[in-house]
Structure 1
């Protein structure tokens, strides 16, 4: 397109949240379908666009690993029901709001504790 300027919607910058959620009831950490629906809902609440998701359960009452791929990057979760623990990774760029996604996840899982690390990512470090 000669004479026009392409505007980039998603710049190579964003917030990467790493949340260690503890003290979660085991029943909330072992159902693939429920966790997938939760992470998809969290993405939507954050204003992100879901491209694809894949979740794997390790057996009855055992943990789940899953990822929701976003146009803005991703949300992933790894759970250990036997320890009441979930590791959540949220990276989003553009106008999406990763903190909102985390709030949705925390509301649903009701952890007793949250250790949060926030990393600002950018091509212009």
Structure 2
């Protein structure tokens, strides 16, 4: 692929199990910490949207100038699917994931880092 079409982005996906029900069923708590995670990494927040589901669960999307952070929760299973994608080399989504995992304190975490924009998706081990 020609270099003028190449971009660099890091996409981190996290499956987090064993999270306290009340932490991931509270939309205001989730929005606050997702927004704070964006500020921790120095990203520019364009919008924050969140939805609560009946009887439980939530989704929060933080749209960034650099891309996005998102979380989808399944409190009844003590599970959250979290991801962060940032374009460019300045903003590292791993720092946002580290912040969120510190807040949520899951018992089990499965993480993948994907390097995007080089013409091929490259999955690398997490540091």
Say yes or no: TM over 0.5.
yes
Cα displacement string for residues 6-58 of structure 1 (whole angstroms, at most 9, x for unaligned residues): xxxxx831110010000101010111111011111101111111000110001
Gaps of 5+ in 1: 1-10
Give the whole-Å Cα distance in 2 for the aligned partners of 1:89 and 1:23: 17
TM-score, normalised relative to structure 1? 0.86
Give the whole-Å Cα distance in 2 for the aligned partners of 1:24 and 1:32: 15
The counterpart of 2:39, out of the listed 36, 41, 44, is: 44
Tell me the equivalent position of 2:58: 64
Query: Does 1:85 pair with 2:41?
Result: no
The counterpart of 2:24, out of the listed 29, 53, 58, is: 29
Query: Does 1:122 pair with 2:122?
Result: no
Give the whole-Å Cα distance in 2 for the aligned partners of 1:58 and 1:41: 23
Root mean square deviation, CA, Å: 1.3
Q: Which has the larger radius of gyration?
A: 1
Tell me the equivalent position of 1:20: 15
Aligned residues: 114
Residue 56 of structure 1 aligns to a residue whose secondary structure is strand
TM-score, normalised relative to structure 2? 0.85
Gaps of 5+ in 2: 1-5, 121-127
